[in-house]
Structure 1
Amino acid sequence: MRDGTPGAAFGAAAVFLGAGVAGGAWPTGWAALVCALACGAVGTTLLAVRRRGRDSEAPEEVRDAVSDLAEHDAAVKPVRPGRSSLVAAAVVWALALLAGGIWTLTAGDDTEAGDGTEAGAPAKPSASSDAKPSVGWLVPAAGQRGDKGVGSWGLGPTVAHGRIDGLFAYDSADGSLRWSVPAPPREALCAMSPKTGEGVGLVAHGRYEKPCATLLAVRASDGKVLWKRQLGGEGLDGGALAVGGATAVTAEDGAVRGRSTETGEQRWQRRLGKDCTVLALDADATRTRLVEQCGKGARLVALDTRTGDRRWTRDLPVESAARASVVSVSPVVVDVDEADARGTHAFLGFDDEGAPTATVPLTGPEGALSALWSVADGRTVRPLVLDGLLITFAEKDSISPSTVVAYSLKDGRKVWAHHSEEQLMALAAEPDGSVAYLGFDASVTLLDRSTGKVRRVLEPDAGKRPTVSIHPELVPVPGGHVVLNQILLQGEPAAFALR
């Protein structure tokens, strides 16, 4: 039975290694060396034990003959039974232990080299990896303290920033300047269309304490100025300009006019009534919505963008001077803030035929709601209208908003509210339908638009966060977000990217 022990041991080792091969786990590197040395040490030890046992069982006359031979020739040292095999086994065991120690110390390198990655190469991120975003690029501060930008356009791989000194378009991937339309000497950018239409946007310039009266159409792909018009009278009414499809719509010199975005040729005009002015307007390819104030009353007017024909008119609950903005063209949402403290201060919703649908007070149980610059006294933000919801910020017990709140445009009821420990700065609609908000710490949080539940938080490293000004804009771009600081206070960057 003892004679079969080494064979059984090596057979077990062979079975063990064979199973590893079959399972796709064949050892490599230091692991392979340790396995080989361990098997060799076990085999050598068993062989030594076997020889020692055989020598101890030899006949007495054989052992005496060996002793006599050793005494006869002093140069020959007596050979003890199994000694050479035991020495060999000890050496192999020492090598196995040494290799095992080295393997343990370098196990981290072997682990990183797993999953198909070579040793020394970066490990592949797992599907659940939530790496911190980094600041991809930054545009240094531009202008003087207190300078105020007028808007932005998200153009996919390009972001156009309307600053006091002109219109500047940055590559969203690396921040390089793709094109610019600088404001003329002694003129400032004073208005900008909320969006582009068919690749064209509108901007306007004006001199200090003079009307905002120089209108330009800019091609968004390369910054080419397609045409320029000098407006008469008092220039733009309240900076009211928009692009709907291929039509540029402006309120100017006592009229609302529609021009070709390609040529600047006037297509239609609608004269305003006596003592009437346009408080706000916006448009899409087929519909234009504008808020007019005539005397102490106000009304919402719907026009056909292509022809200027009036579709319907709705009187608003206004009896004093008011401020207003068009939040959404369809569904129709406007916000109105009267001078009369007991007057209308609310978001007002209408269907596409002008019938009222919802009223959301600017001040309510959630606190003061944020609105556009033209309306809000406190924190300003462009509210979102998504899937029948009005989404904006609310501030209750502090001077800055800390809640994102959504209201139904069917009946004005609150649908959800998300409370944050961070000061909220800007809202944006993500390409996947999420709602994104920018925190004062430059973090971006993504919310489910239907429930307000947090989907993901993108928070840069604490030591690498750029400064956010008091009125930034958040623009989703491929692979991340761009933040545009619209008011310069303490040297904040003009723009930066979070990727």
Structure 2
Amino acid sequence: MGRIALALAVLAAAGGAAAVLLKQEATATSASKELTQVWQIPAPAADDALIGSWLTDKLLIRASSRGGLQAYDLTDGKQAWSAADFTGSAGRGTVPCAMSPTLSAHGIGTVAFGKDGSTCTWLAAVKASTGKILWSTPLTNAKHPTAATTATYLQGDVATIVGENFLGGVDIRTGSRVWSYKARGHYCNAYDWGTNGTVLVADFCLDQKTRFTLTAFNGRTGKAIWRKPESAHSDVTHILSGSPLVAAVHTARQDVVRVLGTTGTGRKLAVGDDELTTGNDTGADHSVRLYGNVLVTPASASGSAVIDGFDTTTGAKLWTHRSAALAIPASGADDKVYAVTTSGSPQLLTIDPRTGRTVPVADLPMGAGQWSFTSGTVYVTSDGAVLELNALGTNGGVRLYR
């Protein structure tokens, strides 16, 4: 996320040394179940880009730069609704540019819109079951007239807005302000990053004795969890988990992935030469997950996509699995790691988060994954179906295998 201007606008109301188990098998064993493709939705345009998605027990809600915000029935793939309540918003833009990774307990999520898929001018709360826009709030004003990159996250009934123009929280039900970021001094530059539950801010204040700090804020309340003095600017390249807070931090001296404790210092993950990444290289990928104290994340090793498992208590890398993409389980699913193979005969499999051992769940038809499965673009529904999205329109749209 980018730089916050000197005076942020206030939101208006509206490790270890354990051995690594390298799992490289192509899972040649056939599964007891075989899935077939039951429906397909073509991409709206070749230059379409996935912004985000939600999955409920009945619907896939997909936001993209050319397709807008639409919902599809999981039974047959038919369009259930299309968000079109943009009264008075044409001048601000109606292209989705950010989407909360999750929905609230009441089935409400936040979506930001603008004139393109990368800069945002306003934020809305959307009812996932109907597509109804419940409220909206501007992300630009007289002091910050230029549309900028934005991200949005949910924690309980509070939605955080993390962007170049604004940083704060609003009530997901009403849009009213809950908290706003306040700089440490009068002459500060700040850079912000977020995830569900936590916001990180790296700042530089000319009028403060401690020039550089890195601070973690509670995304629900806006209260500082910890503040750590720094000798120079830190750049957060990825936040992999909000609780415990796990982040990849770049400084002039080093790149490190660290489990940040209650004081902002903590154990390093034994990443080695791997680079922990979002699987589809977009902000729409939220496949990184915690299973107890095991962090499971997409990564890149020697230029190839892998899945890594880390013990967040010791920092040890527990295992690496090659030729597979992480799948996002439906809400309420069990604690198994789901993945889809990306070489050989395509399969849905589970990975034991502690040992890395794999078990085939279902065989997929040979055409599956011809768009190249990537982490963050595969869901496993509550009834065991596999939903294949794609991050780019050039590779297709959506398929469901049941």
State the TM bucket, normalised to the shorter chain.
0.7 to 0.9
Q: Give the conservation status (yes or no) of the 8 Å contact 1:381–1:426.
A: no
133, 137, 160: which is aligned to 2:39? Answer: 137
Structure 2 partner of 1:241: 152
Structure 2 partner of 1:370: 277
248, 251, 259: which is aligned to 1:335? Answer: 248
Considering only aligned residues, what root-mean-square deviation do their CA atoms show, in Å? 3.3
Count of aligned pairs: 350
Aligned mates of 2:376, 2:199 — CA distance in 1: 26
How far the C-alpha of 1:224 sits from its partner, in A, is 0.8
Q: What TM-score, normalized to structure 1? A: 0.62
How far the C-alpha of 1:150 sits from its partner, in A, is 1.4
Q: Give the conservation status (yes or no) of the 8 Å contact 2:215–2:225.
A: no
214, 225, 242: which is aligned to 1:299? Answer: 214
How far the C-alpha of 1:139 sits from its partner, in A, is 0.8
Higher strand share: 2
Instruction: Report the CA distance shift for 1:150/1:346 in structure 2 as closer, same or farther (over 3 A).
Output: farther
Summarize deviations over 1:104-161 as a string: whole Å, max 9, x none: xxxxxxxxxxxxxxxxxxxxxxxx981211112211121233x321121222332221
Are 2:336 and 1:434 equivalent residues in the alignment?
yes
Aligned mates of 1:390, 1:470 — CA distance in 2: 18
Instruction: Report the CA distance shift for 1:354/1:429 in structure 2 as closer, same or farther (over 3 A).
Output: farther
292, 296, 299: which is aligned to 1:387? Answer: 292
* 5+ residue gaps, structure 2: 1-29, 206-210
How far the C-alpha of 1:345 sits from its partner, in A, is 2.3
Are 2:57 and 1:156 equivalent residues in the alignment?
yes
Aligned mates of 2:117, 2:62 — CA distance in 1: 23
Structure 2 partner of 1:195: 102
Summarize deviations over 1:328-386 as a string: whole Å, max 9, x none: 22111122245x4xx332322123x3453321265x15x3333477899xxx7742222
Aligned mates of 2:118, 2:237 — CA distance in 1: 23
Q: Give the conservation status (yes or no) of the 8 Å contact 1:370–1:394.
A: yes
Aligned mates of 1:493, 1:210 — CA distance in 2: 21
Q: Give the conservation status (yes or no) of the 8 Å contact 2:235–2:250.
A: yes
Instruction: Report the CA distance shift for 1:245/1:438 in structure 2 as closer, same or farther (over 3 A).
Output: same
Instruction: Report the CA distance shift for 1:236/1:358 in structure 2 as closer, same or farther (over 3 A).
Output: farther
Q: Rg larger in 1 or in 2?
A: 1
Are 2:320 and 1:405 equivalent residues in the alignment?
no
Structure 2 partner of 1:324: 237
Percent of aligned pairs sharing the same letter: 22
Aligned mates of 1:222, 1:453 — CA distance in 2: 41
Instruction: Report the CA distance shift for 1:238/1:210 in structure 2 as closer, same or farther (over 3 A).
Output: closer
Q: Give the conservation status (yes or no) of the 8 Å contact 2:213–2:227.
A: no
Instruction: Report the CA distance shift for 1:416/1:472 in structure 2 as closer, same or farther (over 3 A).
Output: closer
Structure 1 partner of 2:24: none
Q: Tell me the secondary structure at the aligned position of residue 291 of structure 1.
A: strand
Aligned mates of 2:222, 2:299 — CA distance in 1: 37
Q: What TM-score, normalized to structure 2? A: 0.75
Q: Tell me the secondary structure at the aligned position of residue 462 of structure 1.
A: coil
Aligned mates of 2:367, 2:307 — CA distance in 1: 27
Aligned mates of 2:311, 2:373 — CA distance in 1: 31
Q: Tell me the secondary structure at the aligned position of residue 50 of structure 2.
A: coil
Aligned mates of 1:253, 1:464 — CA distance in 2: 39
Structure 2 partner of 1:173: 75
Q: Tell me the secondary structure at the aligned position of residue 320 of structure 2.
A: strand
Aligned mates of 1:149, 1:174 — CA distance in 2: 21
Aligned mates of 2:249, 2:282 — CA distance in 1: 7
One-letter code aligned to 2:77: G
Q: Give the conservation status (yes or no) of the 8 Å contact 2:294–2:310.
A: yes
